Amino acid sequence: MTDHGPSRRRFLQAGALALTGGLAGCGSSAPAADGSDSATTAEPSPYTRIYREAIDSVLLVQTEQGSGTGWVYDGSHVVTNAHVVGEATDVDLRTRDGSWYTGEVVGTDRNSDLAVVEAADLPEAATTLELADAPATIGQEVVAIGNPFDLDGSVTTGIVSGTDRSIPAPTGFSIPDAIQTDAAVNPGNSGGPLMALDGQVVAVINSGGGDNIAFGISAALARRVLPALIETGSFEHSFMGVALTPITPSLAAANDLDEPRGLLVVDVAPGGPADGVLQPSEAEVADGEGMPVGGDVLLAIEGTQTDTTEALGSYLALETRPGDPVSLTILRDGSERTVELELGTRPARPS
């Protein structure tokens, strides 16, 4: 920018002061109808209210490897991401007044990217934040509170942009039932609360995926996982042992299907729960393009339609446990049938 000298700067400064004074006269300095100062009587925005109510319960979580955010789950436990605590057994916690506390990592689940830290001596102001009772809805306003780039207690706002998303887990599997938001999320926000305007936590912030795209672990999944982490230190996820792909119009044509619906079984893990129960497809060339042909098409699990891998993943995560028997509706050789499968436990990493 070109500098036009002291005279121009003095003119601009004077104009800025005049404009500031004019704006102040129209807003915060104007007396209210009852004679009081409107600046002190105006109702805070809903975002300010949520921030004020929650900020004492949102903490900086620091390890030797880095830092993130956590929030008070109950009187002695703090929730954060598994990737925030990493392999640490103890972490440092800082409240908004700058006080430091030590917390012990009592449970981690890398498949859901959740972790629990025990910190029994937190201040009384650090009260519990409640997980949402109802599922998040698209368009719902939300508030993210955290410590991006170690900027303590930062707040951003947005809406729920999508639900039932599938996002990568540190194990290489996927985290189902995830929440997508356009609230700004940056390094350091991980583990913090994504809150509805009623003050409940709709998701545990997991990652920022790009401009106006961020994700969190749903309250529904967190509600299943967190009690187990507190009680036993781990959580077991259901496992079918199959690789699936949605039936597209081109796949439907290659497999002589009347319509594109369901999930095609493209692989079955040897020795896994689906081995001998479901039949995988084989790679063939159709219309000059290699694609899976043959094999079972999964239409439903326990009567719940499975046209997307996200729908199947959410059902397994929220409705089942390892060892549960489930009924699968499949399409095999052109006709529907039902097969029974006993769910296993998800291994440490995909095979």
Active-site option among 154, 166, 190, 207: 190
Contact 211, 183 (CB under 8 A): no
Q: How far apart are CA 147 and CA 153, in angstroms?
A: 6
Active-site option among 57, 83, 109, 314: 83
H-helix or E-strand spanning residue 85: helix 82-85
Clarify whether 121 is annotated catalytic. no
Q: How far apart are CA 7 and CA 11, in angstroms?
A: 6
Q: How far apart are CA 200 and CA 129, in angstroms?
A: 7
Contact 95, 59 (CB under 8 A): yes
Task: Tell me the C-alpha to C-alpha distance, in Å, between residue 10 and each of 1, 13, 35.
Answer: 17, 5, 37
Q: How far apart are CA 252 and CA 245, in angstroms?
A: 12
Clarify whether 83 is annotated catalytic. yes
Closest CA to 166 of 181, 156, 150, 177: 177
Clarify whether 256 is annotated catalytic. no
Structure tokens at 346: 């998800």
Give buried/exposed letters for 186-217 (b at 16+ CB in 10 A, else e).
bebbbbbbbbbeebbbbbbbbbbeeeeebbbb
In eight-state DSSP terms, residue 46 is H
Intra-chain end-to-end CA distance of the chain, in Å: 58
Active-site option among 56, 109, 113, 177: 113
Active site amino acids: 83, 113, 190
